[in-house]
Amino acid sequence: MNVTFQKNQTKENTSFGAIHLKVTSLEKATLFWTKIAGLKLRSSDDESIEFGSEKNTLVVVHKSAQRIYTKGYSGMYHFAIHVPTEAELASVLNRLILRNYPCSPTDHVMSKAIYFEDYDGITVEYTLETPGREKAGQGVGSPKPLNVNEVLASLEDDNIDKVIDDGAFIGHVHLYAKDVDQSNEFYQRIGFVQNKYKPNMVFADLGAGGDFGHRIALNSWHGSNRPLAPVENAGLEHFQLCYTDKNQLEEVLKNLEDYKETSEGYWIKDPTGNKILLN
């Protein structure tokens, strides 16, 4: 299938292409991503479906899972679709409320987020980046509940069937790592920049050179050295990284001991075993 890519809106050295997920049912995935998550069905075949905005593919689901997402394994914790405005975040929140769909609106100060799960238990986050609030010292400490009424005050259109704005993009991936230190070093080798490193919390956070330092996050809150989830489980199939400067991609490949070149790009695995496509 022809997958298009949405570059991040900030000047960063790396951005995400589409997130590829393993699901148990294409029918349920279609209902979730169109009616609940507000994406457009862009193309499909018997084995997979692309969803996104009018112009860009954001999520590709593959009918390759036999079991729902199961906690306790290494692999994906969640991924996030970032929206360009608070009005767009309000639209997401309004849809979830009117559909009576369970969600967790959360204020991280650096971002305003809404968490919810698909029908297989895969956690999805919708995020509005607000790094200026963090720099201004508007809040510290643990995440707190999002001011829902404040967000909904920005709602411009009560149409819950409209498709997400073309400015939306895959903004970060948060992973359960087998070993945070090894994964933290690996993602720096492939071009990410250290933002936060908290070994006492078995957590690391990396950016891509812009103001928002939360592009790849790593934790071992599920326990260290946990195996990757079985291939039969719903969850991450792979994700794509797109390099703004192809010279940087060449330097990254020099830092890698093992990769496979195909017509799609360069396939690698991180220390946990997550598959990544570089191009």
Residue 134 region by backbone torsions, left for phi larger than 0, else alpha for psi between -120 and 50, else beta: alpha
Q: What is the pLDDT of residue 135?
A: 73
Q: Does the domain spanning 14-278 belong to CATH 3.20.80.10?
A: no
Three state DSSP letters for 153-202: CCCCCCCCCCCCCCCCEEEEEEEECCCHHHHHHHHHHCCCEEEEEEHHHC
Q: Are strands 235-243 and 275-278 parallel, antiparallel or unpaired?
A: parallel
Name beta bridge partners: 40: 52
Q: What is the pLDDT of residue 1?
A: 45
Listed by start position, the domains of the chain span 14-278
| Cα–Cα distance measured from residue 91 to residue 191, given in angstroms and rounded to the nearest whole number | 34
Structure tokens at 124: 């999805």
Give the H or E element holding residue 132.
Answer: helix 131-135
Residue 35 region by backbone torsions, left for phi larger than 0, else alpha for psi between -120 and 50, else beta: alpha
- pLDDT tens string, the chain, 279 residues long: the values are 434 434 444 589 999 999 999 999 999 999 999 999 999 999 999 999 999 999 999 999 999 999 999 999 999 999 999 999 999 999 999 999 999 999 999 999 999 999 999 999 999 999 999 988 877 766 665 799 999 999 999 999 999 999 999 999 999 999 999 999 999 999 999 999 999 999 999 999 999 999 999 999 999 999 999 999 999 999 999 999 999 999 999 999 999 989 999 999 999 999 999 999 999
At residue 205, what is the residue type?
D
pTM as predicted: 0.94
E strand map for the chain:
14-23, 40-44, 48-52, 57-63, 75-82, 104-107, 111-117, 123-129, 144-145, 169-176, 193-198, 203-207, 216-219, 235-243, 260-261, 266-269, 275-278
